[in-house]
Structure 1
Amino acid sequence: MRIFLAGATGVIGTRLVPLLVGAGHVVAGMTRSASKAEQVRAAGAEPVVCDVYDLDALTAAVVAFRPDLVMHQLTDLPDDATLLPELAGANARIRTEGTRNLVAAARAAGAKRFLAQSIAWEPAGGRGQVIQDHEAAVLDIDGVVVKYGQFYGPGTYYEDELPTHPRVHVEDAAAQTIPLLEASSGVVILADTA
Structure 2
Amino acid sequence: MSKRVLLAGATGVIGRELVPMLRGRGHRVTALVRDPSRAAGLAVDDIVVADALDAPAVRSAVLSARPQVVVHQLTALRVSTGEGMETTARLRIEGTTNLVRAAVRAGARRIVAQSIAFATAPRGGGVLTEDAPLFFDAPDPGWSRTVRAVAELEHTVLGTHDITGLVLRYGSLYGPGTLYHPDGAIGAAVGRGRFPLPESAAGVTSFLHVADAASAAVAAVESEIGGVFNVSDDEPAEAATWVPAYARMLGAPPPRTVPVMLIERMSGWLTGYQLTAMRGAANGYAKRVLGWRPRTPSWRTGLEVASLGP
Q: TM-score, normalised by structure 2?
A: 0.58
Residue 45 of structure 1 and its aligned partner are, at CA, apart by 2.9
Partner Cα distance (2:54, 2:152) in 1: 21
C-alpha offsets along residues 100-141 of structure 1, whole Å, 9 cap, x if unaligned?
100111011010111000000027621212111111111113
Q: CA RMSD in A?
A: 1.9
Residue 185 of structure 1, aligned match among 226, 247, 258: 226
Residue 86 of structure 1 and its aligned partner are, at CA, apart by 4.9
Matched, 1:138 2:157: yes
Q: Which residue number corresponds to residue 149 of structure 1?
A: 171
Partner Cα distance (1:186, 1:13) in 2: 21
Partner Cα distance (2:152, 2:212) in 1: 27
Q: Which amino acid aligns with 1:115?
A: V
Residue 78 of structure 1 and its aligned partner are, at CA, apart by 3.8
**Do the aligned residues in 1 keep the contact of 2:30 with 2:44 (CA within 8 Å)?**
no
**Do the aligned residues in 1 keep the contact of 2:7 with 2:70 (CA within 8 Å)?**
yes
Please list, as runs of the form range in 1=range in 2, the aligned pairs for 1:33-52 lying within 5 A after superposition: 33-40=35-42, 43-52=43-52
Partner Cα distance (2:101, 2:83) in 1: 29
Residue 30 of structure 2, aligned match among 28, 31, 41: 28
Q: Which residue number corresponds to residue 11 of structure 2?
A: 9
Q: Which residue number corresponds to residue 170 of structure 1?
A: 210
Between 181-190 and 101-110, the greater mean CA deviation after superposition: 181-190
Matched length: 189
Q: Which amino acid aligns with 2:52?
A: V
**Do the aligned residues in 2 keep the contact of 1:114 with 1:144 (CA within 8 Å)?**
yes
Q: Which runs of 4+ in 1 moved over 6 A?
A: none
Residue 13 of structure 1 and its aligned partner are, at CA, apart by 0.5
Q: What is the SS of the residue equivalent to 1:12?
A: helix
Partner Cα distance (1:87, 1:47) in 2: 25
Partner Cα distance (1:86, 1:2) in 2: 33
What percentage of residue pairs aligned between the two structures are identical? 42
Residue 118 of structure 2, aligned match among 121, 130, 136: 121
**Do the aligned residues in 1 keep the contact of 2:31 with 2:44 (CA within 8 Å)?**
no
Between 156-165 and 127-136, the greater mean CA deviation after superposition: 156-165
**Do the aligned residues in 2 keep the contact of 1:37 with 1:48 (CA within 8 Å)?**
no
C-alpha offsets along residues 128-185 of structure 1, whole Å, 9 cap, x if unaligned?
1211111111111330000000110111111035996121011111122211111411
Residue 26 of structure 1 and its aligned partner are, at CA, apart by 0.5
Distance 1:36 1:45, change over 3 A: farther
Partner Cα distance (1:39, 1:189) in 2: 31
Q: Which residue number corresponds to residue 267 of structure 2?
A: none
Residue 108 of structure 1, aligned match among 87, 105, 110: 105
Unmatched runs of 5 consecutive residues or more in structure 1:
none
Q: What is the SS of the residue equivalent to 1:71?
A: strand
Partner Cα distance (1:109, 1:39) in 2: 27
Residue 54 of structure 1 and its aligned partner are, at CA, apart by 1.7
Q: TM-score, normalised by structure 1?
A: 0.90
Larger Rg: 2
Residue 4 of structure 1 and its aligned partner are, at CA, apart by 0.5
**Do the aligned residues in 2 keep the contact of 1:167 with 1:191 (CA within 8 Å)?**
yes
**Do the aligned residues in 2 keep the contact of 1:37 with 1:49 (CA within 8 Å)?**
no
**Do the aligned residues in 2 keep the contact of 1:167 with 1:192 (CA within 8 Å)?**
yes
